[in-house]
Amino acid sequence: MDAQQIQQITDRISQNLVSKGVSPDKHSISEKLTLYINEFGVVPFEAERKVLSDQYKQHKIPEEAKPAAGSSSGDLVHIADIQPNDWVSVEVKVVSLQAPNSPAIAQSGIFADSTGAVRFVVFSKASELPKLELEKWYRIDSAVVDSFKGVANLKLHSGSRVTEIEDDRCLVPSEPAKLNELKAGVVSCIHVKFIEEWESRSDRMMQSGLVADESGRMKFVLWQDPDKEKLIPGAVYNIFYASVDEYNGRLSLTLNSAVWIQDEDAEISVPVSAGSSAPKEPLPVSSIRDLSVGYASLRVKFVEEWESKSERMMQTGLVGDETGRIKFVLWQDESKERLELGRVYEIINAKVDEFNGRLSISLNPATYSAEEPTADIAVGTRMDEVSGTIVQVSKGSGLVRRCPVEGCNRVLSRQNFCPIHEIQNSFNYDLRIKGVVDNGQRAYNVLVNREVTEALSGMTMDQAIEIASNSPLGLEEIQSVLTERLCGRYVKCFGTDFDGRILVKSAEFIRLDPNVTAELMNRAGASAGGNGI
Partner 1 sequence: MNSGSVSNGQFMSYEREPAKRVFAAELREASKMIKDSEDEKSPVYLLLPTGERCNRVLIAGAITQKDKVGDQNILYRARVSDPTGIFYINASSYQPEAMHQLAKIDTSTPSFVVVVGKPNAYTTPDGKTLISVRAESIVVVDQETRDLWVQDAARSTLDRVDALVSDVPSADVVLARETYHLSAEHWKKMVSDALSRIMQL
Measured between alpha carbons, how far is 116 from 83 in angstroms, rounded to an integer? Answer: 13
Residue 426 binds to partner 1 (criterion: CB under 8 A): no
Residue 63 binds to partner 1 (criterion: CB under 8 A): no
Among 22, 65, 77, 105, binds partner 1 (CB under 8 A): 105
Residue 514, φ and ψ in degrees, nearest 5? -60, -25
Residue 389, φ and ψ in degrees, nearest 5? -100, 140
Contact between residue 359 and residue 325 where contact means Cβ atoms under 8 Å apart? no
- DSSP, collapsed to helix, strand or coil, labels residue 347 as strand
- DSSP, collapsed to helix, strand or coil, labels residue 249 as coil
Q: How many CB atoms lie within 10 A of CB 388?
A: 20
Residue 520 binds to partner 1 (criterion: CB under 8 A): yes
- Crossing angle of helices 461-470 and 475-486, in 10° steps, is 120
**Nearby residues of 24 by Cβ (< 8 Å), 6 or more positions away:** 13, 14, 17, 18, 55, 65
# of chain residues touching partner 1 (CB under 8 A): 62
Q: How far is the CB of 462 from partner 1 (least distance, A)?
A: 25
Among 4, 8, 23, 53, binds partner 1 (CB under 8 A): 53
Residue 25 binds to partner 1 (criterion: CB under 8 A): no
Pairing relation of β-strands 151-156 and 205-213?
unpaired
Pairing relation of β-strands 358-362 and 324-331?
parallel
Contact between residue 297 and residue 285 where contact means Cβ atoms under 8 Å apart? yes
Residue 510 binds to partner 1 (criterion: CB under 8 A): yes
Residue 70 binds to partner 1 (criterion: CB under 8 A): no
Q: What part of residues 82-101 is at the interface with partner 1 (CB under 8 A)?
A: 101
Measured between alpha carbons, how far is 62 from 59 in angstroms, rounded to an integer? Answer: 5
Among 104, 165, 266, 341, binds partner 1 (CB under 8 A): 104
Q: How far is the CB of 106 from partner 1 (least distance, A)?
A: 12
Is 35 or 165 the residue whose CB approaches partner 1 more closely? 35
Residue 164 binds to partner 1 (criterion: CB under 8 A): no
Angstrom distances, CA of residue 172 to CA of 77, 79, 93, 116, 169: 17, 14, 11, 10, 10
Residue 252 binds to partner 1 (criterion: CB under 8 A): no
Contact between residue 155 and residue 72 where contact means Cβ atoms under 8 Å apart? no
**Nearby residues of 239 by Cβ (< 8 Å), 6 or more positions away:** 189, 190, 191, 192, 211, 253, 255, 258, 259, 260
Residue 333 binds to partner 1 (criterion: CB under 8 A): no
Residue 232 binds to partner 1 (criterion: CB under 8 A): no
Is 144 or 298 the residue whose CB approaches partner 1 more closely? 144
Contact between residue 302 and residue 329 where contact means Cβ atoms under 8 Å apart? no
**Nearby residues of 217 by Cβ (< 8 Å), 6 or more positions away:** 179, 195, 210, 211, 270, 276
Among 18, 76, 99, 521, binds partner 1 (CB under 8 A): 521
Angstrom distances, CA of residue 479 to CA of 24, 57, 397, 470, 483: 46, 36, 6, 14, 6
Contact between residue 214 and residue 275 where contact means Cβ atoms under 8 Å apart? no
Helix (H) / strand (E) containing 423:
strand 422-423
Contact between residue 325 and residue 365 where contact means Cβ atoms under 8 Å apart? no
Measured between alpha carbons, how far is 6 from 418 in angstroms, rounded to an integer? Answer: 63
Among 153, 188, 252, 453, binds partner 1 (CB under 8 A): 153
Considering only 23-31, 44-52, 226-234, 457-465, which stretch makes contact with partner 1 by CB under 8 A? 44-52
Q: How far is the CB of 488 from partner 1 (least distance, A)?
A: 3
Residue 148 binds to partner 1 (criterion: CB under 8 A): yes
Residue 531 binds to partner 1 (criterion: CB under 8 A): yes
Is 300 or 446 the residue whose CB approaches partner 1 more closely? 446
Considering only 256-264, 296-304, 307-315, 504-512, which stretch makes contact with partner 1 by CB under 8 A? 504-512
* Contact pattern from residue 338 through residue 377 relative to partner 1, giving x for each residue in contact according to CB under 8 A and a dash for the rest: ----------------------------------------
Among 23, 85, 102, 367, binds partner 1 (CB under 8 A): 102
Considering only 77-85, 146-154, 362-370, 409-417, which stretch makes contact with partner 1 by CB under 8 A? 146-154
Residue 183 binds to partner 1 (criterion: CB under 8 A): no
Is 155 or 301 the residue whose CB approaches partner 1 more closely? 155
Among 205, 443, 461, 465, binds partner 1 (CB under 8 A): 443
Measured between alpha carbons, how far is 157 from 161 in angstroms, rounded to an integer? Answer: 9
Residue 35 binds to partner 1 (criterion: CB under 8 A): yes
Residue 532 binds to partner 1 (criterion: CB under 8 A): yes
Residue 436 binds to partner 1 (criterion: CB under 8 A): yes
Residue 157 binds to partner 1 (criterion: CB under 8 A): no
Q: How far is the CB of 220 from partner 1 (least distance, A)?
A: 17
Q: What part of residues 274-293 is at the interface with partner 1 (CB under 8 A)?
A: none
Among 341, 376, 484, 498, binds partner 1 (CB under 8 A): 484
Angstrom distances, CA of residue 420 to CA of 395, 400, 424, 426: 21, 17, 11, 15
Residue 487 binds to partner 1 (criterion: CB under 8 A): yes
DSSP letter at 76 equals: B
Among 14, 142, 160, 392, binds partner 1 (CB under 8 A): 392
Is 317 or 388 the residue whose CB approaches partner 1 more closely? 388
Kindly compute the dihedral angle of the four CA atoms of residues 276, 367, 362, 335, in this order, to the nearest 10 degrees: 110
Residue 440 binds to partner 1 (criterion: CB under 8 A): yes
Site residues (vs partner 1, CB under 8 A) = 35-36, 39-43, 46-47, 49-50, 53, 101-102, 104-105, 108, 119, 121, 146, 148-149, 151, 153, 155, 389, 391-392, 436, 438-443, 445, 483-484, 487-490, 500, 510-512, 514, 516-518, 520-521, 523-525, 527-533
